[in-house]
Amino acid sequence: MTSDTHPFFDMHRHGYVRVATSTPQVRTADIAYNTAGIIEESERAHAAHVDLLVYPEMCISSYMLDDLVMQTAFLKKVESAVAQIVAASRDLSPILLVGAPLLANGQLYNCALVIAAGRLLGAVPKSFLPNYREFYEKRWYASGRNVTGGTITVNGEAVPFGVDLLFASTRDERFKLHIEICEDMWSPAPPSIAGALAGATICANLSASNIVIGKSDERHLLARSSSSRLACAYVYSAAGHGESTTDHAWDGEGMIYELGELLAESERFRRRPELCIADVDCERIYGDRIRHKTFDDAIDEAGRPEKRFRFIDMPHNPEHGDIGLTRPIARFPFVPDRENRLDEDCYEAFNIQVDGLMRRVEATSPMSLVIGISGGLDSTHALIVAAKCCDRLDLPRSMIRAYTMPGFGTTEHTKSNAWKLMEAFHVTAEEIDIRPAANKMLEDIGHAFADGHPVYDVTFENVQAGMRTDYLFRLAGQHNGFVIGTGDLSELALGWCTYGVGDHMSHYAVNSGVPKTLIQHLIRWAIRSEQFTHETDAILDAVLNTEITPELVPIGADGAVQSTESAVGPYELNDFFLHNIMRWGLSPSKVAFMAWHAWRDASRGEWPPHFPADLRNQYDLATISKWLENFLRRFFQFSQFKRSAIPNGPKVSSGGALSPRGDWRAPSDAVADVWLEELRQNLPH
């Protein structure tokens, strides 16, 4: 099947909803002009396959009307405009949220109207009316904060009316909509709190917020905090060019946040209409709420708000097939794409590791810190952390006892790097050739290699890995110290470590919360931020350019070294899988869909700052599927017993950690069938 026909390529199948904010053309009190602008934007949104379109507050009439809004002829014209928009929506895909002043029971309300598929589904009145500084809405409008269970008649039709309305998609149960208006967001207790606790995954705000210096930052703060605290998407649309400038100015700001992350924002102060579009992940929102048990408690504490809301069916007829994906998807979810964030996160990650090790040193008062140095990424970064720990505690780096232990697969390149590193950091450095001891053990257990046969099986590899760790533990005992673990989060996820007396074990595992892709950026950051000398930086750069290898199998006749990623898959894909499955609990087929959009074209999307151009890879769906299957087997089925017995180490990323005392707890004897079946059933063959 093609991307036009197979459901895998349809973003809606994966729980996405395409939302947009609109700043349509508007003229003060010119209802016909404004209505034409609203309809024009709805048609543009339909062409862009938008599911939900949020307009500014009072967009039908314009906002800055003063006493004009109380004129009977004006209000009748507003109603006729509503009928015109409802009729225009009949064959359009977007659900439209438009603002208008409406009369109910002899009171005038500032309302948000929900229009879909040729129907007016309901009206939500504004709860909190600003009546301070430049705003005096109580002169004209009644507050809707206590309006529940009601109806309002618009063009002779009675429709649900009140602040107790939630609009639920007829197609996707995860798409539930709550609406508030402008000042509601600024109140100490926004209505969206109850809406989210009642089940809304998307909260929309129709706003006519004027612009003054610094107000945009305030809006972002409120929208971001709402989406984070309420575990939802928050869609905000403010009035723009064309509103009355008698005493105010307007910037037409639109923004879409999801779980505290900015997905999209409009260009402010544009004269022409603008659509700000992003695909909101309602499945991800559900996943976050499942894990966030404080959210459950808040529902109970609020008296289960869903009992107080009326749920209105919301026709939702999206375009099927491959319509793309309009949202940023990080290739490296553990690594920020923006330079300022990258530096901040690297600073924090590095200092979390250093501070954790400092506290362990203070608690145990060791005479030495014992570490194995291979010349690869993980041991290099662990050495960096240990060196900085000693510096901050005013301890000599010579108390770090670093050992390089060449085995059957060690290359001169990595051995040379290991020695250069140890000398550059001025640690106590020694070399122990483990081959004689490994040969003796292989001989004692009757392994074929001891008889001259080139058998390089798991036993052959584990004898070396275990031998190295055994030496380190005995050396730690001999020198009154403890062993610093070098294994990282990615290896723990894949079970790529030798259990027990192997690289699985240490006294304190400084890298256990850091994935491989972040370690690479931490080393680049250490170079860029000049944490050490220029001579040291040159060695660190050489380590970054070294093939990732366990160096347990002898070099081939063609000079090729044992490659870790040829066995377990590219770490950049594995870290992508890990973050989205462990942190969000997403289904494997959805993770494949996301990975395909993130990795299929190296020329598209953002790359982390300073990321080498020659390392910018791309992967087709078949490759992604192959390594995702491998990840699912390793992660769910046969690696948990290793994670259930790992040593202490600091959690570093909000993406999670795999300690049984932290984020991830799972039985060691589970099977991966459910995840593998879900992937195979939902991917194109």
| Active-site residue flag, 203 | no
Which amino acid does the sequence have at 6?
Answer: H
| 590 annotated as belonging to a binding site for a ligand | no
3-state secondary structure of 597: helix
How does DSSP classify residue 635? I
One of 59, 111, 182, 232 is an active-site residue; which one? 182
- Alpha-carbon distance of 359 to 659, in angstroms, equals 19
The length of the chain, given as a count of residues: 685
- Alpha-carbon distance of 661 to 664, in angstroms, equals 8
One of 79, 111, 126, 282 is an active-site residue; which one? 126
| 642 annotated as belonging to a binding site for a ligand | yes
577 class by beta-carbon count within 10 Å (0-12 exposed, 13-18 middle, 19+ buried):
buried
| 131 annotated as belonging to a binding site for a ligand | no
| 216 annotated as belonging to a binding site for a ligand | no
Q: Tokens standing for 43?
A: 């048609």
| 95 annotated as belonging to a binding site for a ligand | no
- Alpha-carbon distance of 525 to 353, in angstroms, equals 14
| DSSP string for 232-300 | SEEEEEE--TTS--SS------EEEEETTEEEEEPPTT-SS-EEEEEEEEHHHHHHHHHH-HHHHHHHH
| 379 annotated as belonging to a binding site for a ligand | yes
Q: Partners of 21 in the beta sheet?
A: 54, 276
| 293 annotated as belonging to a binding site for a ligand | no
Please state whether 258 falls in left (phi above 0), alpha (psi between -120 and 50) or beta.
beta
| 245 annotated as belonging to a binding site for a ligand | no
| Active-site residue flag, 57 | yes
| 257 annotated as belonging to a binding site for a ligand | no
* Beta carbons within 10 angstroms of residue 651's beta carbon: 19
Q: Tokens standing for 270?
A: 């544009």
One of 41, 57, 265, 572 is an active-site residue; which one? 57
- Residue ranges with strand state E in 170-247: 176-181, 202-207, 233-238
| 209 annotated as belonging to a binding site for a ligand | yes
- Do the bridges between strand 150-154 and strand 119-125 make them parallel or antiparallel, or are there none, so unpaired? unpaired
For the stretch 137-141, contacts whose Cβ atoms lie closer than 8 Å and that sit 24 or more positions apart, written own/partner, are 137/110, 137/183, 140/66, 140/67, 140/69, 140/70, 140/101, 140/108, 141/101, 141/108, 141/109, 141/110
| 546 annotated as belonging to a binding site for a ligand | no
Consecutive H or E run containing 485:
strand 481-485
How does DSSP classify residue 168? E
| 377 annotated as belonging to a binding site for a ligand | yes
Q: Tokens standing for 145?
A: 């904060």
| 294 annotated as belonging to a binding site for a ligand | no
Q: Partners of 152 in the beta sheet?
A: 159
Q: Are 280 and 19 in contact (CB under 8 A)?
A: yes
Q: Are 288 and 267 in contact (CB under 8 A)?
A: no
| 499 annotated as belonging to a binding site for a ligand | yes
Alpha-carbon 393 to chain mean position: 35
Q: Are 93 and 318 in contact (CB under 8 A)?
A: yes
| 498 annotated as belonging to a binding site for a ligand | yes
Q: Given CA atoms 532, 533, 537, 539 in this order, what sign does their dihedral have?
A: negative
| 621 annotated as belonging to a binding site for a ligand | no
3-state secondary structure of 444: helix
| 193 annotated as belonging to a binding site for a ligand | no
3-state secondary structure of 87: helix
| 496 annotated as belonging to a binding site for a ligand | yes
What lies within 8 Å, CB to CB, of 172 at 6+ separation is 12, 15, 17, 282, 316
Which amino acid does the sequence have at 656?
Answer: G
Cα–Cα distances in angstroms (integers) from residue 493 to residues 416, 551, 571, 648, in the given order: 30, 20, 11, 16
| 372 annotated as belonging to a binding site for a ligand | yes
Annotated binding site: 132, 209, 215, 372-379, 462, 486, 491, 496-499, 642
Residues marked active site are found at: 57, 126, 182
Annotated binding site for ATP: 372-379, 486
Annotated binding site for deamido-NAD(+): 462, 491, 496-499, 642
Annotated binding site for L-glutamine: 132, 209, 215
